[in-house]
Chain A
Amino acid sequence: MTEQSLETRDMLLNVGPAHPAMHGIVRIITRLEAEVIREADVEIGYLHRGFEKMSEEVPFNGVIPYTDRLNYVSPLINNMGYCMAVEKLLGLTVPERCHYIRVLMSEISRVCDHLTCIGATAMELGAFTVFLYMIKAREFLWELVEEVTGARLTISYCRVGGVKADLPGDFAGRAQEAIRQTREVLKEVDKLLTRNRIFVDRMKATGKITQEEAVSYGITGPFLRSTGVSFDVRKAQPYAIYDRLKFEVPLGVHGDNLDRYYVRMEEMEQAMRMVEQCLAQMPPGPVGVSPETGEPIPAAEMVDKAKRGEIHSIAGRAAVTDPTLEGSGQSAHPAIGAAEKRVFLPPKEDTYGNIEGLMQHFKLVMFGHGIRPPKGEVYFPVEGANGELGFYVVSDGSDKAYRVRVRPPCFTIMAALPRLLQGDMMADVVPTFGSVNMIGGELDR
């Protein structure tokens, strides 16, 4: 054998854009020396849909369905972030119960997000059972979400100035049951993973990043906390009612994949505690139909009576429509939305039942009307499941935003991915990429 045949050289290996071990479409170009990654380049943008451009073309409430599709694993947090940014622009306060509902729903979403992240990572490392268990737990929570919002994924639950509907009557009991079941699943997963030799070996000391680097890359959320920086928007600058909840911010030490797993596992427990506290603290909901409006009658019956001229029999009575969701009726309305008629849509009973409600509705949905915030610019950050999710909204005083910018939490983490992979083995791409929790929707917008 000659010397020349033993010559070594670096190999360029292309991973993706579509690869079975990648949840999301992203391309990683690696330069390998044997199995060690010497250099990596990340190419994103495969899921670019023009979110920011579209937001300039639709009314303020019309952006909400687009925000669902940013982080499609925890859409409620996106909804909340966007709505709170616009509310800040409007200088609007929402009722306390609405804040509690939003926080409660975001914490449920956070659990869903972490369940998906850990489940997918474990599955890609071969632990398929864990994935199935965690998706089972997510199903318990998604059933709750479905009950409240009417949808499972693209929920569009928040409105500027409030939420779409109040919680259904027996929500607290069902939420506690779902939390109990989720905790059981987490206990099982903990047994399966935390001391699992294969899992720990692959997660430990891979994808390491130091505190200084993580801060310099602008990384936030569980990823940053795994390096030991206790930055959490909910603690640093509490919004909504987070200052009234007792929770801890779990921290890692090494900043590697295993610490990120620990942090996410503990954060789920903290989030569930917050849900319980919200349920306990939440101010009471609707008190039912007030006596002066009289007994409600179906809207169609009311119209018929009015046509026949039987005005006296319907005077002072409210119309009942058929709300698609439990808790979206008139009585729930004052508790879940701001008392600002220029912003928040009236309850459907009013829209169909009296002229004031109809006018208010049309004033908000008709062409050329809508929510018209003053000219201005605001930035509002919330703690998303992946880190700080910020909305920067500029308004020119019309019914559409002049500019909506979203600061996607996983964008900065993906920017650090080449650095994370450097020096690791090719096989470490899988756990590292899993713990980055790339969400194509918010990364590429």
Chain B
Amino acid sequence: MLPSQLCEALAARFPEAVLARHTYRNDATVTVRPEGLLAAARALKEDPLFQMNFLMDLTAVDYSAFGKRPPARGAFPSSGVEVRPEDGVPDEAPWPGPAVGERFEVVYHFFSWPLKHRLRLKVPVGEALPEVDSLTPLWAAANWFEREVWDMFGIRFRGHPNLKRILMYEEFAGHPLRKDYPVNKRQPLIGPVN
């Protein structure tokens, strides 16, 4: 199916759950409410219309610093030479932007082997209670992917069998891919426990 048709079909199936959709750069993308995630994912997997048998990727994005990067305009203090970058490469069909309001977005990439199409599902997650449903009952791949998202972003997954850190060590404090985690922060290395 074409990306736009995919988005339409999913939106028609879950009219209340779907918050937004776009096909920027021909990637079918649908944003759903956290409550509707499990139902939508199940439909994507089991419905003969979608047949998304692969959960290709699962990650998250912290949008708390989006558009807030200090502008590069200014002057070099030593020389006074002004820095004035141009606007960059123009875009004919602009991206609608991240979901409004919530800090995180959990991003799922599905692929259908029989029908050869891809779909990106996004779920906005708030800062106060960063928690979404786990997809481990549907795809075994979700197990480690969700552990990584917990490790890197501190987003919990309801119903995950073993939600512990995967890349960092247990004693590590904080979640490194959050935008408020400083890139040069050092933490003590932990030796063997016993």
Interface-side segment among B7-15, B126-134, B138-146: B138-146
CA A280 to CA B158, docked complex, whole Å: 55
Does B57 contact A390, Cβ atoms closer than 8 Å?
A: yes
User: Which chain B residues lie closer than 8 Å to A407 at the CB level?
Assistant: 56-57, 109
Does A415 contact B140, Cβ atoms closer than 8 Å?
A: yes
Does A57 contact B183, Cβ atoms closer than 8 Å?
A: yes
- At the interface, yes or no: B1 with Cβ under 8 Å from chain A? no
User: Which chain A residues lie closer than 8 Å to B83 at the CB level?
Assistant: 366-369
User: Which chain A residues lie closer than 8 Å to B25 at the CB level?
Assistant: 88-89, 91, 376, 378
B24, B107, B109, B169: the one contacting A376 at CB < 8 Å is B24
Residues of chain B in range 50-66 having any CB-CB distance to chain A below 8 Å: 53-57, 59, 61-62, 65-66
Residues of chain B in range 64-116 having any CB-CB distance to chain A below 8 Å: 65-67, 69, 72-74, 76, 83, 85-92, 94-95, 97, 107, 109, 113, 116
What 0/1 readout, one digit per residue, does chain B (26-41) give for beta carbons within 8 Å of chain A?
A: 0101000000000000
Does A237 contact B116, Cβ atoms closer than 8 Å?
A: yes
CA A414 to CA B145, docked complex, whole Å: 11
Does B89 contact A379, Cβ atoms closer than 8 Å?
A: no
Tell me whether A215 and B166 are in contact in the complex, defined as CB-CB below 8 angstroms, given that A374-B88, A379-B27, A412-B141 are known contacts. Answer: no
CA A220 to CA B109, docked complex, whole Å: 14
Residues of chain A in range 349-402 having any CB-CB distance to chain B below 8 Å: 363, 366-379, 381, 388, 390, 392, 394, 396-400, 402
A52, A367, A371: the one contacting B72 at CB < 8 Å is A367
CA A366 to CA B62, docked complex, whole Å: 27
Tell me whether A392 and B144 are in contact in the complex, defined as CB-CB below 8 angstroms, given that A367-B83, A372-B85, A403-B61 are known contacts. Answer: no
CB distance from A431 to the nearest CB of B (A): 22
What 0/1 readout, one digit per residue, does chain A (70-90) give for beta carbons within 8 Å of chain B?
A: 000000000000000000111
Tell me whether A216 and B86 are in contact in the complex, defined as CB-CB below 8 angstroms, given that A91-B91, A415-B144 are known contacts. Answer: no
Does B56 contact A218, Cβ atoms closer than 8 Å?
A: yes
- At the interface, yes or no: B156 with Cβ under 8 Å from chain A? no
Chain A residue nearest in CB terms to B120: A379
Does A397 contact B140, Cβ atoms closer than 8 Å?
A: no
Does B72 contact A399, Cβ atoms closer than 8 Å?
A: yes
Does A415 contact B143, Cβ atoms closer than 8 Å?
A: yes
Does A218 contact B54, Cβ atoms closer than 8 Å?
A: yes
Chain A residue nearest in CB terms to B81: A366
Does B89 contact A396, Cβ atoms closer than 8 Å?
A: no
User: Which chain B residues lie closer than 8 Å to A342 at the CB level?
Assistant: 86, 88-89
Tell me whether A377 and B24 are in contact in the complex, defined as CB-CB below 8 angstroms, given that A44-B166, A396-B67, A415-B141 are known contacts. Answer: yes
User: Which chain A residues lie closer than 8 Å to B21 at the CB level?
Assistant: none
Chain A residue nearest in CB terms to B59: A405
CA A388 to CA B54, docked complex, whole Å: 11
- At the interface, yes or no: B17 with Cβ under 8 Å from chain A? no
- Pairs A–B under 8 Å by Cβ, sample size 15: A52-B177, A57-B183, A215-B113, A218-B140, A218-B145, A236-B113, A342-B89, A368-B74, A368-B83, A374-B95, A375-B91, A379-B27, A379-B109, A392-B109, A415-B140
Binding site for A on B (CB under 8 A): 24-25, 27, 29, 53-57, 59, 61-62, 65-67, 69, 72-74, 76, 83, 85-92, 94-95, 97, 107, 109, 113, 116, 118, 120, 139-141, 143-145, 152, 165-169, 176-177, 181, 183
Give 20 A-B pairs besides A394-B61, A396-B69, A399-B85 with Cβ atoms closer than 8 angstroms: A45-B169, A48-B168, A215-B54, A216-B140, A217-B139, A220-B56, A343-B89, A368-B73, A369-B85, A372-B85, A374-B95, A381-B56, A396-B67, A402-B61, A407-B109, A411-B145, A415-B143, A415-B144, A416-B140, A444-B167
Binding site for B on A (CB under 8 A): 44-45, 48, 50, 52-54, 56-57, 88-92, 213, 215-218, 220, 229, 231, 236-237, 340, 342-343, 363, 366-379, 381, 388, 390, 392, 394, 396-400, 402-403, 405, 407, 411-412, 414-416, 419, 444-445
